[in-house]
Structure 1
Amino acid sequence: MLPLIIEPAQLEQELSNPKLLLIDLCNEQTYRAGHIPNAHSVLPQEIMAGTPPAVGKQPDEARLTALFSRLGLTAEHHVVVYDDEGGGWAGRMIWLLDVIGHQKYSYLNGGLLAWKAANFPLTEHLPSPQAAPFKLHVNHQFSVDIDDILAELGSKDFVVWDARSPAEYCGEKVFAQKAGHIPGAINCEWTQLMDQQRQLRIRDDAKAVLASLGIDRSKTIVTHCQTHHRSGFTYLVGKTLGFSIRAYPGSWSEWGNHPNTPVDL
């Protein structure tokens, strides 16, 4: 069994493993220019509902069934995900795997950037389709909605982790009808937990950084951003640290456009 976070050298030794399902979350141009051998492309728009205003909600069951049938996902597969931006899309895919009940997965630390830095091979060859029927079972315990958050606001054991920029959090940048943040939310922008000197790997001191802000294992944590893209990474970080963490896929695009949601500046 591979660990949740793997390094390029570990993955390179597993590439011939028939039970490995490697998923590339880069854009199509990047994928076609060179990807890790045997990696299957999943475009970011395939793992989002795309319906305004809350475009980041999970796709409907028909789309999820079609996606994982195309990939040929089975219970025996160990999925490894990566992207080229530090883990936002890859982390969102891990959340989606949790949602469908498949918890045999890993994240390639540093993604495509770390793979290239290690001088491991890339290919333009497209892997052969391994399509197989997939039976979907949605697990709702990894997601929350507006009512779930409203029910917990003010609880000392509950915290909202806002992964947006400080300017969005403070209402200086506005991408919805309302500006600001969910009352009591703690802001830690997703990029703050990436090691800029090590191909955007997860920072070794991520636990201490978050603890200094009041985000730790003693709390039940919900993370969000604008569309649950950036918070895909913070969800992943939370899992690596053993947090009790869930995602709010509606994120600010839903909360900030809802007529009855409270906000702070």
Structure 2
Amino acid sequence: MTAQLPLLLEPADLAAHLDDDNLLIVDLSKDQVYDQAHVPGAVHLDFKRLLAGTQPAPGLLPSDDALSALFSELGLTPDTQVVAYDDEGGGWAGRLLWTLDVIGHKKYSYLNGGIHGWLAAELSTSSDRTRPEPSDYRVGEHDPATSVDLDYVLKHHTDPDVVIWDARSEEEFAGVRAFAQKAGHIPGATHYEWTDAMDKHNNLRLRDLEEIRRELAERGIQSNKEVITHCQTHHRSSFTWLVGKILGFERIRGYPGSWAEWGNHPDTPTEKSE
């Protein structure tokens, strides 16, 4: 049996469960990083398979058939405890966990610090590629509490109960840099860059959670609001979605269309910082 592991999982705690049944560890690091060193038993996943990849909004989810095929390859079952990590501080790991949340698979954890945290703890690694035992996984009804679409954001971004969390860089938020036809941000959105939650001096582990909570609250991002987080393609903002989940935000949702969709749509309003 696999124990129900916490959402934020420390390396030493994962090390104690490596032999558990129904445990699926997914490494979303770059290929060369995985081949050099990964958590023993971890399978590698190309993050591009978590994205539809179609313009103008490449961050939208793949089809249910594509996701069913992917998770069947990985050996996912309804009883599987998934642990995800990467080599960049949690963006792609967060994208996998958000995807699982969307499709109703709630047994998942994030390895704090990813491979950097694991190596810093001086735990054993493997360089052998792990081949998962395939399953027959079928994606069912999506959980509507996890995701929003363009129409929803258009209708609700000015609601006093809703806060839009923009996880892009300060330059993108201000409109100085743009990766879409329009520059700037969703009117009323608040900015907290995704990397601000990472401790760059401690192997990209999460910084003190209460410090993060205080910083977010100063920007109006707090648990008594409905929080919608986005970036350019819902890669960086998958990590901020994860941070919100770890902080106990019960109404945090991802906008997978993100700025790629909003900034290229003819009927969306935008703002630029002074």
TM-score by length of 1: 0.98
Q: Pick one of 251, 262, 268 that aligns with 1:255.
A: 262
Q: Distance in 1 between matches of 2:216 and 2:198?
A: 13
Q: Distance in 2 between matches of 1:128 and 1:229?
A: 26
Q: More displaced, 121-130 or 40-49?
A: 121-130
SS at match of 1:58: coil
Q: Distance in 2 between matches of 1:232 and 1:30?
A: 21
2:77 maps to 1:74: yes
Shift of 1:154: 1.8
2:196 maps to 1:189: no
1:168 aligned partner = 172
Q: Distance in 1 between matches of 2:77 and 2:64?
A: 17
Equivalent AA in structure 1 for residue 195 of structure 2: T
2:150 aligned partner = 146
Q: Pick one of 187, 193, 200 that aligns with 2:204.
A: 200
C-alpha distance after superposition, 1:116-161 (max 9, x if no partner): 1111111111223310111111414111111101111221110100
Shift of 1:75: 1.2
Q: Distance in 1 between matches of 2:269 and 2:246?
A: 31
2:23 aligned partner = 20
C-alpha distance after superposition, 1:45-88 (max 9, x if no partner): 01111111111111111210110000110111110000011100
Q: Which runs of 5+ in 1 are unaligned?
A: none
Equivalent AA in structure 2 for residue 250 of structure 1: G
2:59 maps to 1:59: no
2:252 maps to 1:245: yes
Is residue 101–residue 143 contact of structure 2 (8 Å, CA) maintained in 1?
no
1:133 aligned partner = 136
How many pairs were matched up?
A: 265
Aligned Cα root-mean-square deviation (Å)? 0.9
Q: Distance in 2 between matches of 1:47 and 1:135?
A: 16
2:241 aligned partner = 235
Equivalent AA in structure 1 for residue 202 of structure 2: R
Q: Which runs of 5+ in 2 are unaligned?
A: none
Equivalent AA in structure 2 for residue 130 of structure 1: E
C-alpha distance after superposition, 1:23-63 (max 9, x if no partner): 00112121112211110111110111111111111111121
Equivalent AA in structure 2 for residue 37 of structure 1: P
Q: Distance in 1 between matches of 2:66 and 2:44?
A: 16
Alignment of 1:77-116 (within 5 A): 77-116=80-119
Q: Distance in 2 between matches of 1:40 and 1:256?
A: 35
Shift of 1:196: 1.4
C-alpha distance after superposition, 1:162-184 (max 9, x if no partner): 00001000100011000000000
Shift of 1:258: 0.4
Q: Distance in 1 between matches of 2:162 and 2:150?
A: 14
TM-score by length of 2: 0.95
SS at match of 2:237: helix
Equivalent AA in structure 2 for residue 192 of structure 1: D
Q: Distance in 2 between matches of 1:117 and 1:201?
A: 11
Q: Percent identity?
A: 52
SS at match of 1:92: helix
